[in-house]
Amino acid sequence: MHALIVGAAGMVGRKLTDRIVRGAPLQGKAVDHLSLVDVVAPETPEGYSGTTDCLQADLSEAGTAEKLIAARPDVIFHLAAIVSGEAEKDFEKGYRINLDGSRALFEAIRHANLADGYRPRVVFASSIAVVGAPLPYPIPDEFHATPLTSYGTQKAICELLLSDYSRHGFFDGIGIRLPTICIRPGKPNAAASGFFSNILREPLVGQEAVLPVPETIRHWHTSPRSAVGFMLHAADIDLDEVGPRRNLSMPGVSATVGEQIEALRRVAGQKAVALIRREPDAMITKMCESWAAGFDATRARQLGFTSEDSFDAIIQAHIEDELEGAA
């Protein structure tokens, strides 16, 4: 089994690589060939006995997608993207990376399919940003895609392309609408939603964090651990059960910022909570008020996708995976 991870140097890409290296099978088979690609050179995984190809490349550049498809990987995880805040600030870069790069990959697969019948499984990392206000709570699976950001628009277009290329039989695609991933390890990124992780991650290690929004803001979350689980399950699932609606809103935890903070208090105590400093930001607050507060996600759950059921569990997953089990 040959797996290609595009966006392998990102947080989810690194964790997905680690799970595969530690023996997670795909479609019931061991992965003996792993291709890792990103604009930042991915690290060669330690302890992996299979073949590893690590490539520093930009998917949106001419010829890159064809090069990646030449080895005919069986499963392709397409995680490459620039995040919401950056895509909003740099319009051209957002469309080049998030849309043009995806289209180049899909086209390379299509041409390979026409040449020799090549038909891989494609797992596409989409986003709940494909929906936009006014939003019901919870948001049903049938809710229309009306994104209000460039990032969400780019993801929505890619979802349509994925469905159409799959309908034509060029590949077997499935789109995973990821909730906001919390708690993200490492340093803050350019995502406008980054504070959701910051107000938990930094206090857990004794550092101050800034909260720019009211505690009443409610949003939809899952852990990095669950996000990787979504990707692996999407690679294995029988797509006949999914049907023609190939893009699924993933399960998660709906919580207000105040509920996040109370979960932090229960897990790590008042000392950690005291490290959160309020600095209201009207622009960020306005953005957050238009974001999804929670999804019904019935279809995904019925198809076997699972997530945490409380914010305490999300915090505990971070402690176990990133802090060696102790906060």
Return the pLDDT at 145.
93
Q: Which of 48, 95, 137, 151 is catalytic?
A: 151
Cα angle 157, 163, 169 (rounded to 5 degrees) comes to 135
Cα angle 150, 151, 153 (rounded to 5 degrees) comes to 60
C-alpha distances in angstroms, 155 versus 64, 131, 222, 241? 20, 10, 19, 23
Q: pLDDT per residue over 249-292, tens digit each?
A: 999 999 999 999 999 999 999 999 999 999 999 988 988 888 99
- Element (H or E) spanning 66, and its range? helix 64-69
pLDDT over 90, % of the chain: 91
Query: Is 95 one of the annotated active-site residues of the chain?
Result: no
Question: Domains of the chain, with CATH numbers?
Answer: 2-179+222-249 (3.40.50.720)
Q: pLDDT per residue over 149-198, tens digit each?
A: 999 999 999 999 999 999 999 999 999 999 999 999 987 776 778 999 99
Q: How far apart are CA 324 and CA 165, in angstroms?
A: 43
